[in-house]
Structure 1
């Protein structure tokens, strides 16, 4: 029995898989991921208009008459045969699905969606802006997934086992430009996100794989699922149009309304309150512990500091 090479195997559908061009390999494996996302329930009319322009094959999810726009920040680590990379990015997206697959979707509330009830995973993120601090990741995301990805850089404070404790996130996204093989930082802030989450109840949710929608250079829609291997922590903030009392703990600010991402955040969200937050932080795999004093053979012991 002969075997077809992967690229030549017959398929049952009408579409071949999108190409994976050198030097890329898929799937892309994350060594660690630290992630916070914030969802807003908004007026669907401007969302639908923007989707018709940017993702004409997708329809906005309808959560009791509201659309959902989501902004998520990621810090991730990738290990390669010849080294490693630490990358940061923000995705600003609309929760949407392929219009041709509408008949496969169950009717869900936002709260059900946030808890992972859509097991078709057709409700994915239609990316409007992806801002990233790595020229390599920008090139890969654009080529492989049709992401609208461009340079930025970040000033960030987040929860960490190597920090003083607490559960606060503060992310400032600043302007950058591609320069040679890297990016050149500018000082102009574009948008920022802050969240003080200490004491808020959270729910472990199985909401992945997250399907990310993009458009390739020929205008064909692409879908790329991303698996996360442990549950996310979901924090409901009232889940209604105006959010609940806890929504005041989360703030999204536009610093530069004339920037592409600032203009779209202003147009779709404005001063609206967040409906929900979701976070994920990779567990540590090792710990280097506090040292202790070793007795010195045949010598007078030094006094212990603080005694």
Structure 2
């Protein structure tokens, strides 16, 4: 069997793409397998939905990241609705794991990856890069957020509102008022487990029907939160505001009143701090 060629890297992009900082939260739901399998087959026919105890796994995540370029810097926000899946041709290599084991990174084959169903992004450059490099189903959106931060009062609640957007003829993002979906995750006072779960394999299917995989390395562990206890069911709220959209319809089809199984977060550590000022004593001549 001859080796496959690598997918082309379209101009003007370069790979790998390096993140200067990343703030990331994801939520996982164990849900009924049949609707997940049906939707996955429409988007990625070369993949099979993973099952954990007979349940499929759907993931929704938000990213805020910074990248430094030759011309300066750029900040990007995006959300993804994903199905955890593996290449059907590699089924005999996929380990049998519980959800908790998968979430903590026990799959060292990295065949259990994220099959992207919807990706919304507020950076037109990143939208083009995602489509052309990784065959992501990526389109415009914009965000209002309230995130845990060292530059904010203490707390560990993440709130993300995703709204509709378009791009104009010049490629600039045009915000719209329509709210698509909201995610609130209250992780305050919960115990975390370090998760060695990267590289994360992201799956895409290009316009010619070719399946491809793009790994993403994160250089420190994620923090994983086990949300399986019944008394934690109200810690996560995913709300669909526009059920007539593709995103809203698919969220409702995959996650009908299903409690979250777990959450995972990563926040880049700070690299510098500008400290509080202090007063100098008056000069003796002024006294």
Q: TM-score, normalized by length of structure 1? A: 0.91
Structure 2 match to 1:9 = none
Match of 2:11 in 1: 22
Aligned ranges 1:86-235 → 2 under 5 Å: 86-179=75-168, 180-235=170-225
- Which runs of structure 2 are paired with 1:50-65 in the superposition (5 Å)? 50-65=39-54
Question: 1:32, CA displacement in angstroms?
Answer: 0.2
For 1:112, what is the secondary structure of its paired residue?
A: helix
Measured in 2, the distance between the counterparts of 1:290 and 1:13 equals 62
Deviation at 1:295, TM superposition (A): 2.5
Aligned residue pair count: 286
Q: Which runs of 4+ in 1 moved over 2 A?
A: 295-301
The structure with the larger Rg is: 1
Could you say what secondary structure the match of 2:234 adopts? helix
Aligned counterparts of 2:278 and 2:230: Cα–Cα separation in 1: 49
TM-score by length of 2: 0.98
Match of 1:284 in 2: 270
Find the aligned partners of 1:209 and 1:145 in 2 and give their Cα distance: 15
Deviations 1:266-298 (A, max 9, x none): 000021110000000000000000111122323
CA deviation digits over 1:37-72, x for unaligned, max 9?
000001000111111111000000010100000000
User: CA RMSD for the aligned pairs?
Assistant: 1.1
Secondary structure (helix, strand or coil) at the match of 1:274 reads coil
SS of residue paired to 2:271: coil
Structure 2: 5+ residue stretches without partners: none
Deviation at 1:119, TM superposition (A): 0.3
Where does structure 1 lack aligned partners over 5 or more consecutive residues?
A: 1-11, 302-307
Distance 1:101 1:49 in 2: 20
- CA separation of 1:13/1:287 partners in 2, compared to 1, >3 Å: closer, same or farther? farther
